[in-house]
Amino acid sequence: MVKISFSPVNELVVHEVVKVSMDDLMRERITPSGTMPLYWCNGLIFSFSSVPMNKRVLDDYLNGKIHWMEVHYAEMKDYDEVIVLNDEHYNGSMKIRVIDTSKSALHSDFVKWLKANSKPAKESNK
């Protein structure tokens, strides 16, 4: 019988986190060939980009440490499997699929960390 091993991620290194508007978050997922999904977990909707693979990143990955280069997120209290962007630039509506990742230990821990460590936006002095 084949040996099966489970080696979960034991560290996530996030290099940049940016809170954006829901519309901007949706716009970034539109590509010339269609839309890419967003992730929803425990009240936040987000996307992330991984660090390009090289020997050091691969070694980290194989040792349970992954890197997200940049995370963009917005608040979205309730999960919805499809959200719609109405934008004149696209001459209509664009539907974007949302994946519920609330059962992912990695995503749940990340969202918990983000909520505990995000600072409220400073009000403008206008």
pTM for this prediction: 0.86
Q: Is residue 5 part of a domain?
A: no
Q: Is residue 110 part of a domain?
A: yes
How many domains, the chain? 1
Q: Is residue 77 part of a domain?
A: yes
Task: Select from 30, 26, 27 the least CA-distant residue to 45.
Answer: 26
Q: Is residue 4 part of a domain?
A: no
The pLDDT-based confidence of 120 (bands split at 50, 70, 90) is low
SS in 3 state form for 3-56? CCCCCCCCEEEECCEEECCHHHHHHCCEECCEECCEEEECCEEEEEEECCCCHH
Q: Is residue 122 part of a domain?
A: no
Which structural domain, as residue segments, surrounds residue 32? 11-116
The pLDDT-based confidence of 59 (bands split at 50, 70, 90) is very high
The pLDDT-based confidence of 73 (bands split at 50, 70, 90) is very high
pLDDT value of position 90: 66
Give the tens place of pLDDT for each residue, 3-36.
999 999 999 999 999 999 999 999 999 887 878 9
Q: Is residue 36 part of a domain?
A: yes
Least confident of 27-36, 42-51, 83-92: 83-92
111 phi and psi angles, rounded to 5 deg: -65, -40
**Percent of the chain residues past pLDDT 70, beyond the cut:** 94
Q: Is residue 124 part of a domain?
A: no
Q: Is residue 106 part of a domain?
A: yes
